[in-house]
């Protein structure tokens, strides 16, 4: 293995990415596929808003509309937001703690490919008889009654991609616990690493309930079990509990890394250390902890009784306290700083009012009796889009601009970035602010049409116009990405000039082994400390330059995931009863998966070493683009 | 002159009110124009929480605006390195304590109201003469229509809930197929109709629906239940207690046979010897809930809409019967061909059916 850069053909590049176990390349895989699904989910959102722009519109049929809202929600949560955040976690977190890679590089690759094949499987439902149509929450009674295979694509697809996410979560936990550089104590970890850590713990605890629920449904629908069949003594409310025991922490799995990204941005572009770092860390942990105790606030109208409703109402309100602590600490971070209004900072600045608006409506919904009115109305639609778009999507867009140089070695155009920002921000508020009032005026969510006699026409039209603005913003971003990639102006270690944490201490993009020498961390914002002390070398190092042990790439993760993908088709069509090929396909698929696992277990793969000489050659300016 | 001025003032007031009202949606359906005790309680909580939250937003906005105005790099200089402040225990305490106080302010009414709205202690209380002190309605939610059974009165109706004003009405909710949710926004919050258990709550209706522009309050299904979820509407007619008693009495009477010839022809076709509509649609208001496959039509002529969504006239009745799937996709009403020996209804037959259905009425 040589570390000398070679010009590779397209096929070789694809093969390189399919076999890579490098966290930075896996980050790019997550980023590209997450971005693709984000665009698909966005197109679905546009179709929803076109349908609802006027009363009695017939752009979409009733059944198709339900498929589109289901796929919009499912795609945006599971296939867009999560992988895009996982992309940043993969790209940045190991660098922030001074690690060579994540703890289990092979599993990292497996996690991605499981997510990818699960997502593809779910989206193939469009071409194979219809998409799922019971809402992204997939409530059991409707899901069980749904005809066709849409729901089966949902359950099987999410099971596969859920495995992937679970693997990623475990991997990050182990990485952060075990692979921190010398001196990187827990209370010196950058906030994005902290939020990755807590979000990973949430993944570990929240995904199993979802997997159980999905398994129940798979067995009900495909193999005739009766977990949710009321006539046979089953209970559909169980699904709601399982789903929301997962579903509420899921919101924090999304928002905590978003908080992390914004925390980094506030510090960098205010040139100031995070105000109340300790408080921010503990608020993060508290939010994660409370996140598991509030799921029934999604179920206030189910009829759980006043005691359960009152307890969950109070528990939910408590979450506002640590969240408020965070908001005020961010405000005090920029207070007294030197604010530079770069594109990432604009997103972060816009995030505060947007998220506060989403947060206060959250507290309003925590008041159970008031929620009887708000639940399942457009008020809820407005609320969760304020939190998810105003929090998570703004963070993803901010992170895209912030970390683009670190991931790809070139800067996105700031001017176009600001154009995207303004279109997206104005469109976002235009679309969703007015939906609060639609909800209060009695409009239920998930309606494919409404009458002219309900008094909702004007507000719906305004909302649809807003969606158009958001779409323009995203299109400008895509243009920006293309232009930037064509121009390809290379940048140095710290392109924003004010980087504070370890990832800004090494080249953009970093070499594939990250740090030639593991750095020594001497405090919070370790790179900033070195900069302020005028350290010419960039960092202080904890070890002399020596050979580095690296893992080999592997194609096995793709094969394992592909086997699951094949087996899912077998399981899905097996329920039809008239397809003799279904059972063999199921068996072959599982054989591929378990066979490749066996190969992985039996074949020793000891990796390879990069020699000191190669490292020295790199340091002189040989390999900078991160490829082997 | 003076009178003119007064009129003008009144006009201005009305205009202002109209603008305000249009911003709050329609009286028939808006939660912002509550017409019942429950909705009023909930509206008051909305106002209370909005006030508390407005305070929070105000505080955040002031700090936020000051911060981004005062500390711009263009203002304080390119090369300034700000002081690296660690934090402040005092401030952390402050912004932990104040939100807790704010939360207590909204938590107390929340808990009180949660228990208050779930209080069904007066539900099955009988008066001295053996009759119930409060009206109970059993609601059966089905794809995509609503059945309302009045167990004590022995009557059943559908699509249009009829209730007395000024008293608590208890509801037992159950779904016959998939999960639905029962919501009358201007009267009170929603409660789910689950397939596995009966949910019970009460609502109070303060305003007579005849005062409304459309004459009825609008009810909705609030839980996604299939393609026609958006069309699973019902209407609510609120009557004074006297009118309500009269309505109940009329419902309890036998349905008289149709009088006009066209309607008689329709009755024939509706019956077991014709297309057999009556197998699913009872024409008498007397009966139990949860028995018939389709909506009871005893009050068909009194209703505000056809099938809950279409305008209430004979033309729409005919449209609905000719092609139910076109108006409510996925509903379970058979097409005419399935009932009429593989043939569509003729124009004459449709006219007769519409005339008959429109003649079914219990109100004068």
Chain A residues with CB-CB distance to B110 below 8 A: 310, 313-314, 317, 366-370
Can you tell me the distance from the alpha carbon of A51 to that of A58, in angstroms, rounded to the nearest whole number?
7
Rounded Cα gap, residues B352 and B350, in angstroms: 5
Is the CB of residue A148 less than 8 Å away from at least one CB of chain B?
Answer: no
The CA distance from B327 to B58, in Å, is 48
Residue B7 has pLDDT above 90, yes or no: no
Which whole-number Å values give the CA distances from B56 to A55, A164, A255, A357, A365, in the listed order?
A: 36, 40, 21, 10, 16
Is the confidence at residue B6, as pLDDT, over 70?
A: no
The reply to whether residue A271 touches residue B82, judged by beta carbons under 8 angstroms, is yes
Q: What confidence score (pLDDT) does residue B15 get? A: 61
The pLDDT confidence band at residue B10, using thresholds 50, 70 and 90, is low
**Has residue B168 got a pLDDT over 90?**
yes
- Residue with tokens 């989403």, as numbered in its chain: A358
CATH code that applies to domain B25-71+88-123+131-252 = 2.60.40.420
Do the domains B25-71+88-123+131-252 and B261-359 sit in the same CATH topology, yes or no?
Answer: yes
A residues 398-437 lying closer than 8 A (beta carbon) to B: 437
A195 vs A199: CA distance, rounded Å: 6
Map out the domains of chain B as residue ranges: 25-71+88-123+131-252, 261-359
Number of residue pairs across A and B with CB atoms under 8 Å?
291
> Could you read off the pLDDT of B55-80 as tens digits, one per residue?
999 999 999 999 999 999 988 888 88
Test B30 with A301 for CB contact under 8 angstroms: no
pLDDT one-digit tens code per residue, A188-204: 999 999 999 999 999 99
Which pLDDT does position A154 carry in this prediction?
Answer: 96
Query: ipTM, 2 decimals?
Result: 0.91
Q: What is the mean predicted confidence (pLDDT) over A95-111?
A: 94
Q: Report the pLDDT averaged over residues A571-591.
A: 90
Answer whether residue A242 shows pLDDT above 50.
yes
Is pLDDT above 80 for B1?
no
pLDDT band of residue A282 (cuts 50, 70, 90) is very high
| Least confident among A138-147, B126-135, B181-190 | B126-135
Please report residues of B whose CB lies closer than 8 A to that of A454: 26, 29, 218
Residues 6+ apart with CB under 8 A from B137: B148, B149, B150, B161, B163, B169, B170, B171, B172
Beta bridge partners of B218: B235
| B5 pLDDT higher than 80 | no
Given a cut of 90, whether residue A561 has pLDDT beyond it is yes
Q: Do A66 and B188 touch (CB under 8 A)?
A: no
| pLDDT above 70 as % of chain A | 98
Angstrom CA distances, A30 to A18, A96, A117, stand at 12, 19, 12
pLDDT at A1: 37
Cα gap B218→B233, rounded to integer Å = 7
> Under CATH, domain B261-359 is a member of which superfamily?
Cupredoxins -  blue copper proteins (2.60.40.420)
Is residue A628 predicted with pLDDT exceeding 50? no
- Residues B210-230 have pLDDT tens digits of 999 999 999 999 999 999 999
Domain boundaries A10-554+605-619, CATH class: mainly alpha
Please write the tens of the pLDDT for every residue from A212-224: 999 999 999 888 8
Domain ranges of chain A: 10-554+605-619
Helix residue ranges, H only, chain B:
2-23, 37-70, 73-76, 89-117, 241-252, 261-270, 314-322, 324-327, 336-339, 347-359
Cβ within 8 Å of B, A 501-520: none
Look over chain B and give the mean of its residue pLDDT values, rounded to a whole number: 90
Contact A373 B190 (CB under 8 A): yes
Q: What helix, strand, coil percent values describe chain B, rounded to 5?
A: 45, 20, 40
How confident is the model at residue B173, as a pLDDT? 96
For residue A131, the model assigns a pLDDT of 93
Above pLDDT 90, what percent of chain B? 72
Strand bridging mode B305-306 / B310-311:
antiparallel
CB pair distance less than 8 Å for A301 and B190: yes
Query: Do B231 and B147 form a contact (C-beta atoms < 8 A)?
Result: no
Q: What is the pLDDT of residue B3?
A: 53
Determine phi and psi for A225, rounding to 5 degrees.
-75, 170
- pLDDT the model gives residue A442: 93
Nearest to A165 by CA among A134, A120, A211: A211
Peptide bond into A509 cis (omega under 30): yes
Q: At what angle do helices A556-574 and A105-124 cross, to 10 degrees?
A: 30
């Amino acid at each position: 293995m040589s570390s000398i850069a070679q010009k590779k053909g397209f096929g070789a590049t694809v093969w390189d990415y399919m076999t890579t176990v490098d966290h930075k390349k896996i980050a790019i895989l997550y980023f590209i596929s997450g971005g693709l699904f984000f665009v698909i989910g966005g197109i679905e959102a546009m179709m929803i808003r076109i349908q609802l722009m006027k009363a009695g519109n017939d752009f979409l049929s009733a059944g198709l509309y339900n498929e589109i809202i289901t796929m919009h929600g499912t795609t945006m949560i599971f296939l867009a937001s999560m992988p895009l955040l996982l992309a940043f976690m993969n790209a940045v977190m190991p660098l922030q703690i001074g690690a060579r890679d994540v703890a289990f590089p092979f599993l990292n690759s497996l996690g991605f490919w499981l997510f990818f094949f699960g997502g593809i499987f779910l989206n193939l439902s469009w071409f194979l008889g219809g998409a799922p149509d019971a809402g992204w929450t997939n409530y059991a009674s409707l899901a069980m009654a749904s005809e066709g295979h849409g729901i089966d694509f949902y359950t099987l697809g999410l099971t596969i991609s859920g495995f992937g996410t679970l693997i990623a979560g475990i991997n990050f936990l182990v990485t952060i616990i075990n692979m921190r550089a010398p001196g990187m104590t827990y209370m010196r970890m950058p906030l994005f690493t902290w939020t990755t850590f807590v979000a990973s713990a949430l993944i570990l605890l929240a995904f199993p309930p979802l997997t159980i629920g999905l398994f129940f449904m798979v067995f009900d629908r495909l193999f005739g079990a009766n977990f949710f069949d009321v006539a046979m003594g089953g209970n559909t409310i169980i699904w709601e509990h399982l789903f929301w025991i997962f579903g509420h922490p899921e919101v924090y799995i999304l928002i905590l890394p978003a908080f992390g990204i914004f925390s980094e941005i506030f510090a960098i572009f205010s040139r100031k250390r995070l105000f109340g770092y300790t408080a921010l860390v503990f608020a993060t942990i508290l939010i994660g902890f409370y996140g598991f105790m509030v799921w029934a606030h999604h179920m206030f109208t189910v009829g759980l009784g006043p005691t359960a409703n009152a307890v969950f109402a109070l528990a939910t309100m408590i979450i506002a306290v640590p969240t408020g602590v965070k908001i005020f600490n961010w405000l005090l971070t920029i207070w007294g700083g030197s604010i530079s209004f770069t594109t990432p900072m604009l997103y972060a600045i816009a995030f505060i009012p947007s998220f506060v608006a989403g947060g206060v409506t959250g507290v309003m919904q925590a008041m159970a009796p008031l929620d009887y009115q708000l639940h399942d109305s457009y008020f809820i639609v407005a609320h969760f889009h304020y939190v998810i778009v105003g929090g998570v999507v703004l963070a993803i867009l901010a992170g895209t601009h912030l970390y683009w140089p670190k991931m790809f070695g070139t800067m996105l155009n700031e001017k176009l970035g600001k154009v995207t920002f303004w279109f997206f921000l104005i469109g976002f508020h235009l679309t969703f602010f007015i939906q609060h009032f639609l909800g209060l005026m009695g409009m239920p969510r998930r309606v494919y049409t409404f009458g002219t006699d309900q008094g909702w026409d004007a507000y719906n039209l305004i909302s649809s116009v807003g969606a158009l603005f958001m779409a323009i913003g995203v299109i400008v971003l895509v243009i920006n990405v293309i232009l930037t990639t064509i121009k390809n102006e290379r940048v140095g270690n710290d392109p924003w000039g004010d980087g504070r944490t370890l990832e800004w201490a090494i080249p953009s993009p970093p070499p594939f082994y990250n740090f030639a020498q593991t750095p020594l961390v001497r405090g919070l914002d370790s790179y900033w400390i070195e900069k302020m002390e005028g350290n010419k070398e960039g960092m202080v190092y904890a070890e002399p330059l020596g050979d580095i042990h690296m893992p080999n790439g592997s194609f096995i993760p793709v094969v394992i995931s592909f086997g699951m993908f094949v087996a899912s088709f077998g399981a899905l069509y097996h329920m039809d009863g008239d397809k003799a090929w279904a059972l063999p396909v199921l068996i072959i698929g599982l054989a591929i998966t378990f066979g490749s696992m066996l190969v992985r277990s039996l074949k020793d793969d000891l990796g390879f070493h990069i020699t000191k000489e190669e490292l020295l050659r790199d340091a002189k300016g040989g390999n900078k683009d991160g490829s082997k | 002159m003076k009178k003119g001025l007064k009129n003008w003032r009144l006009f201005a007031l009305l205009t202002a009110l109209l603008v305000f009202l249009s911003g709050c949606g329609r009286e028939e359906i808006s939660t912002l124009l509550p017409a019942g005790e429950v909705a009023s309680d909930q509206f008051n909580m909305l106002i209370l929480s909005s006030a508390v939250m407005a305070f929070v937003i105000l505080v955040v906005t002031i700090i936020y605006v000051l911060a981004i105005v005062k500390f711009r790099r263009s203002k304080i200089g390119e090369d300034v390195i700000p002081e690296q402040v660690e934090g402040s225990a005092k401030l952390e305490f402050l912004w932990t304590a104040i939100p807790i106080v704010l939360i207590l302010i909204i938590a107390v009414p929340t808990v009180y109201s949660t228990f208050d709205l779930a209080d069904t202690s007066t539900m099955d209380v009988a008066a001295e003469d053996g009759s119930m002190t409060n009206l109970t309605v059993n609601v059966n939610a089905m794809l995509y229509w609503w059945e309302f059974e009045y167990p004590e009165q022995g009557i059943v109706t559908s699509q249009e809930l009829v209730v007395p004003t000024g008293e608590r009405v208890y509801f037992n909710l159950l779904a016959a197929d998939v999960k639905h949710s029962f919501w009358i926004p201007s009267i009170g919050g929603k409660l789910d109709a689950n397939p596995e258990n009966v949910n019970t709550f009460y609502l109070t209706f303060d305003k007579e629906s005849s005062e409304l522009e459309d004459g009825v309050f609008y009810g909705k299904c609030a839980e996604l239940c299939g393609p026609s979820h958006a069309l699973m509407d019902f209407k609510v007619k609120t009557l004074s207690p006297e009118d309500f008693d009269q309505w109940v009495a009329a419902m309890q009477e036998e349905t008289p046979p149709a009088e006009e010839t066209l309607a008689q022809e329709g009755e024939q076709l509706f019956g077991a010897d014709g297309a057999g509509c009556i197998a699913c649609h009872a024409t008498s208001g007397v009966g139990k809930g949860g028995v018939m496959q389709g909506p009871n039509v005893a009050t068909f002529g009194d209703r505000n809409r056809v099938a809950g969504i279409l305008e209430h006239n004979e033309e729409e009745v005919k449209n609905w019967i000719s092609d139910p799937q076109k108006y409510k996709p996925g509903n379970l009403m058979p097409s005419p061909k399935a009932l009429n020996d593989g043939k569509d209804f003729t124009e004459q037959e449709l006219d007769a059916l519409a005339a008959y259905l429109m003649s079914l009425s219990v109100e004068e």
